[in-house]
């Protein structure tokens, strides 16, 4: 047994030596988590050395059906043995079925779909379509946004990744993110005055624009921006601003789409219908699948102008088959309702943690997308990067994987997004570990 442990350690040392020597580090200052993940099932990850880790981020906020869902595994096995990849000009039944079924989950007039691979690709295609249809080139997004790392998507991303890469495409503008916990425009009661903030933001846009405003691209809940959810009514007012200027509204539901917030789509809460909707992450439930959805009118206008956007894996049958299985499970198991139920349990547990620990400044989010912001002082909302790092590290030691967002001007914000298939016991376990980790970290000198 001792020899086996020694051999395992030796193998692990070799693994990390190879990783350190051969892998490009792609997350800025972040380091790889020092665990070798061997397999995963449901809500848990399992390491090579036998540790069991509860996954409170659904992988990359994607695995809404948990890991290795048996129906996804069966679909992959069946479809891969039958038809996995095609020339971009050919079609298969899984692709057309998924396009039709997505349209059936959406309000009119969203009925045309382009199936791609990643969120960055879908946002790139949406922005490209908006520019072509409007004949304009300027793009507006939130100052805490994340839309991807390809050219147009990166140009619309402001939460990270802008420094050091030279000029982006001209015509990218940011408006303030409506953060109710840290308001920059306040009313007489000290609450966020989002209407005045929105007016101010577009006054600045109008002053900078050369008269070529094409689109505004937004997330219904800014996840990488610190789980910021604009207040009810905000998106209706934003859409009015777009209409006044002849702009299209693009909604990026990479993380919020397909039941996570308790609605099939987060934009439904506000009664708006975007001109273009992008989906990714949750659509493939952890597999690479994304989509752009728009109206027949917009698609026709784009087609008439020679719309060109395809990739090696556009309309591939294998991921499309997975997308159909994801819809099967979401609809059959009513996972929108389950997200509301589990989200209520999660919210109640987080509020109890906040009651016990003064370092919890704010709790926000909807359904099974929650944010918990850490502060050193509730009155001043003073932040501490060290505290967030300590809590994250302690959670992992105790068997819980958490992700924390560290951005200037806000405290460390935990993004909490368990699978929609999680059990009440798993939610309770995660809350208990988080509670203990916060207590341990806050109690350290």
**18-33 tens-digit pLDDT:** 999 999 999 876 689 9
Q: Is 164 exposed, middle or buried (0-12, 13-18, 19+ CB in 10 A)?
A: exposed
Catalytic residue among 219, 316, 336, 426: 219
pLDDT tops 50 at residue 432? yes
Chain-centroid distance of CA 263 in Å reads: 15
Element (H, E) at 345: helix 335-356
CA distance 123 to 16: 35
CA distance 139 to 126: 11
In this prediction, residues 101-116 reach a mean pLDDT of 98
Catalytic residue among 252, 275, 316, 426: 252
* 3-state SS assignment for residue 188: coil
In this prediction, residues 33-45 reach a mean pLDDT of 97
- The DSSP-derived string for 222-255 is BTTTTSB-PPTTHHHHHHHHHHHTT-EEEEE-TT
| Whole-number pLDDT of residue 410 | 74
Active site residue 264: no
Active site residue 253: no
pLDDT tops 60 at residue 249? yes
Site of tokens 């997350």: 27
pLDDT tops 60 at residue 313? yes
Strand duo 360-366 + 369-374: pairing = antiparallel
How is the chain split into domains, by residue range? 21-68+336-442, 83-332
pLDDT band at 411 (very low <50, low <70, confident <90, very high): confident
pLDDT tops 50 at residue 306? yes
**What's the CATH code, domain 21-68+336-442?**
3.90.1150.10
What tokens appear for 202 in the block?
């577009």
Active site residue 281: yes
Active site residue 255: yes
Instruction: Please name which of 307, 297, 260 lies closest in space to residue 275, comparing C-alpha atoms.
Output: 297
Catalytic residue among 245, 260, 281, 394: 281
Catalytic residue among 112, 260, 338, 415: 415
CB 256 within 8 A of CB 205: no
Catalytic residue among 79, 197, 239, 255: 255
CB 244 within 8 A of CB 209: no
Distance from first CA to last CA of the chain, Å, rounded? Answer: 39
Instruction: Please name which of 248, 237, 240, 175 lies closest in space to residue 206, comparing C-alpha atoms.
Output: 175
DSSP state of 269: G
| Whole-number pLDDT of residue 360 | 97
pLDDT band at 443 (very low <50, low <70, confident <90, very high): confident
Active site residue 415: yes
CA distance 92 to 317: 6
pLDDT tops 90 at residue 5? no
Active site residue 52: no
pLDDT tops 60 at residue 3? no
- Triad 125, 250, 88: Cα angle to 5°: 20
Q: Note the pLDDT tens digit of each residue in 387-399.
A: 999 999 999 999 9
Mean pLDDT of the chain: 95
pLDDT band at 9 (very low <50, low <70, confident <90, very high): low
pLDDT tops 90 at residue 372? yes
Give, in words, the CATH class of 83-332: alpha beta
CA distance 149 to 168: 11
Sign of the C-alpha dihedral, residues 257, 262, 264, 268? negative
Q: Note the pLDDT tens digit of each residue in 130-164.
A: 999 999 999 999 999 999 999 999 999 999 999 99
Chain-centroid distance of CA 386 in Å reads: 25
| Whole-number pLDDT of residue 106 | 98
pLDDT tops 90 at residue 7? no
| Whole-number pLDDT of residue 27 | 82
CB 70 within 8 A of CB 294: no
Q: Is 380 exposed, middle or buried (0-12, 13-18, 19+ CB in 10 A)?
A: exposed
Written in H, E and C, the secondary structure of 157-185 is CCCCCCCCCCCCCCCEEEECCCCCCCCCC
| Whole-number pLDDT of residue 2 | 43
Instruction: Please name which of 90, 60, 112 lies closest in space to residue 281, comparing C-alpha atoms.
Output: 60
- Triad 44, 58, 399: Cα angle to 5°: 40
Q: Note the pLDDT tens digit of each residue in 183-237.
A: 999 999 999 999 999 999 999 999 999 999 999 999 999 999 999 999 999 999 9
Catalytic residue among 131, 146, 270, 366: 146
If you count DSSP H runs as helices and E runs as strands, how many of each does the chain have, helices first?
13, 15
CA distance 131 to 142: 18
CA distance 406 to 225: 9
| Whole-number pLDDT of residue 1 | 40
In this prediction, residues 44-68 reach a mean pLDDT of 97
């Amino acid at each position: 047994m001792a020899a086996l442990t020694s051999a395992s350690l030796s193998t692990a040392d070799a693994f990390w030596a190879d990783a350190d020597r051969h892998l490009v580090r792609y997350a800025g200052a972040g380091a790889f988590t020092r665990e070798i993940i061997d397999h995963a099932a449901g809500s848990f990850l399992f390491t090579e050395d036998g540790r069991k880790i509860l996954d409170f981020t659904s992988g990359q906020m994607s695995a809404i059906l948990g890991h290795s869902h048996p129906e996804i595994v069966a679909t992959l096995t069946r479809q891969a043995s039958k038809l996995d990849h095609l020339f971009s000009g050919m079609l298969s039944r899984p692709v057309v079925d998924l396009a039709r079924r997505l349209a059936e989950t959406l309000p009119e007039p969203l009925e045309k779909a382009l199936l791609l691979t990643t969120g960055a690709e879908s946002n790139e295609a949406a922005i490209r379509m908006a520019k072509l249809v409007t004949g304009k080139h300027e793009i507006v997004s939130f100052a805490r946004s994340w839309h991807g790392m390809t050219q147009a998507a990166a140009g619309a991303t402001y939460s990270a990744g802008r420094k050091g890469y030279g000029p982006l495409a001209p015509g990218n503008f940011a408006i303030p993110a409506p953060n109710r916990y840290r308001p920059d425009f306040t009313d007489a009661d000290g609450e966020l005055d989002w209407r005045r903030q929105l007016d101010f933001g577009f006054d600045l846009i109008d002053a900078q624009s050369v008269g070529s405003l094409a689109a505004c691209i937004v997330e219904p809940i800014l996840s990488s921006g610190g789980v910021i959810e604009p207040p009810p009514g905000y998106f209706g007012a934003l859409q009015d601003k777009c209409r006044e200027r002849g702009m299209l509204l693009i909604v990026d539901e990479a993380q919020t789409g397909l039941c996570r917030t308790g609605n099939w789509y987060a934009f439904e809460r506000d009664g708006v219908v975007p001109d273009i909707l992008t989906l990714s992450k949750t659509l493939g439930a952890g597999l690479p699948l994304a989509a752009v959805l728009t109206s027949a009118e917009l698609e026709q206008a784009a087609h008439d102008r020679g719309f060109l956007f395809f990739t090696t894996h556009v309309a591939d049958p294998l991921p499309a088959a997975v997308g159909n299985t994801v819809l099967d499970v979401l609809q059959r198991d009513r996972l929108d309702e389950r997200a509301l139920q589990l989200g209520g349990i999660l919210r109640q547990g987080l509020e109890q943690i906040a009651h016990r620990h003064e370092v919890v400044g704010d709790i926000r989010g909807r359904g099974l997308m929650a944010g918990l912001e850490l502060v050193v002082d509730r009155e001043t909302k003073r932040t501490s990067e060290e505290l967030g790092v300590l809590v994250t590290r302690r959670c992992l030691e105790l068997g819980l994987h958490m992700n924390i967002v560290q951005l200037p001007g806000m405290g460390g914000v935990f993004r909490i997004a368990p699978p929609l298939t999680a059990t009440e016991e798993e939610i309770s376990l995660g809350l208990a570990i988080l509670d203990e980790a916060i207590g341990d970290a806050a109690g350290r000198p």
